[in-house]
Amino acid sequence: MSQALHPMLNIAIKAARSAGAIINRAALDLEVVKVGSKGPNDFVSEIDRAAEEIIIQTLLEAYPGHGILAEESGRTHGARHSEYTWIIDPLDGTTNFLHGFPVYAVSIALAHRGQVQQAVVYDPTRNDLFFASKGRGAFCNDRRLRVSRRTRLSDSLIGTGFPFRKGDNFKRYLKMFEEVMHSCAGLRRPGAAALDLCYVAAGYYDGFFETGLNPWDVAAGSLIITEAGGLIGNFTGESDYLYQREVVAGNPKVYGQLVQLLTPYTRVIKEEPAAAPAEGAATGNAEAVPNATQAFVNAAADAAPAPEAAAPAAAPARKSVRIRKPAAGEDAPI
């Protein structure tokens, strides 16, 4: 890499590559990998745990005062009340990995006071390293990333993820799937959300949406998208998405059109009566944009005059949001 990297980003890259080496070695002989289950269709392998262990060890050796939020071990490591928290998914796409389907990744993000500042997503099968530092752009290896320039949803390739856990609302998802499918050029579902978000940043996809995601699935990818010029939010376009289990992302114009389609399907809890937030105010993980809803409205208004490009009649930002914070003893809501 030719550009100088932030020291914390360098440590994250070192940790991601170490985890990737463990994953690549295990991929050579999947028959001997021990697999457990966290629930129906929700698998965890000894490789997930080994990769997470090396990541946490690497991060805490460099920054012992930092906190950790990891998929397999939660907050049991690190300093629980630090202003800095590493958000880790050691193997996003475990089911793909266990079947030898080469779409999975290591995802590591660093949040400072709730805002993601550093991000790494490493694809070990292709040796592709996606990374970003806040305010310094997003990259894949040595290539600067920019979101696509398509303006019409009808011309766009959209990524998604299918619900797979017991208790997921399949009927709700199928309605969303049908509506988006009829409005775009194509839908794709490779099965690793961290990579899906990077593909939006790289311009491979024009947009992405999914429900049921956890903070470690989206934290790193969210910064990589915004540093590549894209937008990310919940289904009503607000920047409160990290703990809301719904996310939509895209280049600014396609993002606005996706939000317009997905707003009726939101599960974000609204408070009434509505109160208008101050200009630039945002809730939850606000690293995406100061006012995500206004950004998508402005972007949609600038789009080519097409039915799907029209700005929504009502701006959802006028409703305040109550963030569903993790309860005591929990790391994320279920």
Question: Are 172 and 115 within one domain?
Answer: no
Question: Are 201 and 304 within one domain?
Answer: yes
| Residues facing residue 208 across a β-bridge | 159, 249
Domain total of the chain? 2
Q: What whole-number distance in Å separates Cα of residue 73 and Cα of residue 89?
A: 10
Is residue 169 within 8 Å of 153, Cβ to Cβ? Answer: no
Confidence of residue 321 (pLDDT cuts 50, 70, 90): very low
Domain end call among 144, 171, 190 = 144
Q: Is residue 327 part of a domain?
A: no
What is the pLDDT averaged over residues 24-29? 95
Q: Is residue 331 part of a domain?
A: no
Question: Are 158 and 123 within one domain?
Answer: no
Q: Which residues contact 104 (CB under 8 A, 6 or more apart)?
A: 23, 91, 92, 93, 94, 96, 97, 123, 124, 125, 191, 192, 195
Q: In terms of residue numbers, what domain contains 33? A: 7-144
Residue 18, amino acid: S
Choice among 18-27, 76-85, 170-179, 263-272 with the minimum mean pLDDT: 263-272
- Of 155, 193, 163, residue with least CA distance to 39: 163
Q: Is residue 67 part of a domain?
A: yes
Question: Are 161 and 94 within one domain?
Answer: no
Question: Are 115 and 161 within one domain?
Answer: no
Average pLDDT, the chain: 83
- pLDDT over 60 (residue 146): yes
User: Model confidence over 73-105: pLDDT tens digits?
Assistant: 999 999 999 999 999 999 999 999 999 999 999
CATH number for the domain spanning 236: value is 3.40.190.80
User: Model confidence over 276-289: pLDDT tens digits?
Assistant: 434 333 333 333 33
Q: Is residue 77 part of a domain?
A: yes
Confidence of residue 35 (pLDDT cuts 50, 70, 90): confident
Question: Are 185 and 305 within one domain?
Answer: yes
Give the torsion sign (CA, 61, 62, 63, 69).
Answer: negative
Question: Are 161 and 115 within one domain?
Answer: no
Is residue 103 within 8 Å of 191, Cβ to Cβ? Answer: yes
Q: Which two tokens stand for residue 226?
A: 């915004």
Is the pTM for the entire model greater than 0.75? yes
Residues 257-280: b if buried by 16+ CB within 10 A, e if exposed = bbbbbbbebbebeeeeeeeebeee
- pLDDT over 70 (residue 315): no
CATH number for the domain spanning 70: value is 3.30.540.10
More confident residue, 310 or 56: 56
User: Model confidence over 253-277: pLDDT tens digits?
Assistant: 999 999 999 999 998 755 444 444 3
Give the torsion sign (CA, 224, 227, 230, 236).
Answer: positive
